[in-house]
Amino acid sequence: MKRFVVALGLTGIICLLIGVIWLIYGKITIKLNGDDTVTSTVFLEYNDLGVSVYRNDFLLDKSKYELKIDTNLNKDVLGTYKETYNINYHGRNFKLDRTIKIVDDVKPVITTNINKVVRDYCTKKDKEKIKYNIIDNYDGDITNKASMEEIDNNYLIKIVDSSNNENELNIPIELTEKPKDIFKLKDSSSIYVVKGSKYKDSGYTYTDGCGNKIDEDIKLEGTVDTSKNGTYKVSYTNSKGDKLTRSVTVYTPSVNNGGSNKDKVIYLTFDDGPGSYTEKVLNTLAKYNVKATFFVTHQFGGYVNLIKKEYEQGHSVGVHSYTHNWNIYKSVDAYLSDFNKMNEDVLKYTGSYSKIFRFPGGSSNTVSRSYSKGVVKAIASKMTSLGYQYFDWDVDSGDAAGASRSKIYSNVVNGVKRCSKCIVLMHDIKPNTVNELDNILKTLTSQGYKFGTLNTNSPTVHHTIVN
């Protein structure tokens, strides 16, 4: 019995030792968490998935073994790297490898200054040019490697980076609205013709909104009999029913009967235009065959082209200013810059620069003191040295101050009685002046006055310069 107990005790100890050995030195299995080969985006943090260690198919707690990782990984450089897991479990060493590929799998980013292109219907030119910039997460700025082509009313921008990541962007093209056809009279809608002279109607223009001539039979109605005084109507009608009508007035011009005014010359001057009333002024001057001088500005851009008509009808054109803004008196250079800009308009419409001018406010203006002391005197000296001549006035119509039609008439008709060679100040942007001009000219022509235009050789009127 004692032998059996002893034998049993010894067997238990042996079994216990075998159990301990089995627990410590049993089958160890190492498995990668995730795939054998993994990819990670360049520059981004690499998240290691690690390994799982099993003993006899039971997962071991991480505290039961030692783990060290050896790797040559550089997450900022594209390439293939190896990662080795070294596991030590109770003196037993195990190794397992994983392959890591650092890749660029991000598309380049395309940015543009506009999200659509507006194209002019007529010229087929884009209103604004596309500007684009392309940044790649790995290659940096690769704008110069992109291509852009026009396909089916779109601009297509395409780019491929060094890792063959592709991106593209469509920018739609939108045409502006088709302009309306333009059917208009050539020259003025009101014409004055001297009785007995020949009259040739200047006709019309009919174009599409892009300026291309529309060939179409236009219905013409009305005739002009220059042998008889009166007002005649000439009209043009297109196939759409649009009708243009021109009024032609045949008249007998006033005759200079001599008298005390036969040697007196009046220089009518008009400032601040061209504007919406200028064409009526030109028609009235034509009616009486009177020539005048226009000191022009660019205040009303839509009417600047009337400078051409002023010149072609025999009037003199001088510079008043481009902006008619008082800040041109800040300095001589500021004045010259504004003056030269306006003179470019004069060149455009007359074929030559003007050598005559009028100061805004006249040479005696005091407003300029608020901008620069002595500036008008300096400008006058500089302009004179450059060969320009300025003109003030000795008869003021008063229209700039808001005079009524009757007062404007009185100021001019009575004012010219007090001078031998009169320079009259008026404004072709003032409706009272425009509407009273016919009465003024009717009176002055009947009284035998002569009219002239100003040039560098004309008699000058200079006010006293006070700044």
**So which residues are the catalytic ones?**
271, 427
Angle at which helix 431-446 crosses helix 405-415, to 10 degrees, equals 40
**Which of 222, 264, 279 is closest to 245 using CA atoms?**
222
β-pairing verdict for 166-175 and 154-160: antiparallel
Rounded CA gap, 308 and 252, in Å? Answer: 27
Residues 6+ away with beta carbon under 8 Å from 36: 98, 99
**Which of 360, 386, 392, 364 is closest to 377 using CA atoms?**
364
Rounded CA gap, 413 and 330, in Å? Answer: 37
> Could you tell me the two tokens for 294?
């226009």
With 0-12 / 13-18 / 19 or more C-beta atoms within 10 angstroms meaning exposed / middle / buried, residue 158 is: middle
CA distances from 368 to 334, 376, 466 (A): 12, 7, 10
> Could you tell me the two tokens for 284?
């009235």
Residue 371 is given by DSSP the state T
Q: Which helix (H) or strand (E) holds 180?
A: none
Place of tokens 């008709």: 413
Rounded CA gap, 463 and 58, in Å? Answer: 114
Greatest pairwise CA separation for the chain in angstroms: 175
Rounded CA gap, 167 and 157, in Å? Answer: 8
CA distances from 302 to 1, 81, 209, 269, 349 (A): 133, 73, 17, 21, 14
Contact 209, 120 (CB under 8 A): no
Region for residue 51 given its phi and psi (left: phi exceeds 0; alpha: psi -120 to 50; beta: otherwise): beta
Looking at residue 358, its amino acid is R
Contact 141, 109 (CB under 8 A): no
Contact 232, 224 (CB under 8 A): yes
Place of tokens 């030119």: 125
**Please, what is the end-to-end C-alpha distance for the chain in angstroms?**
144
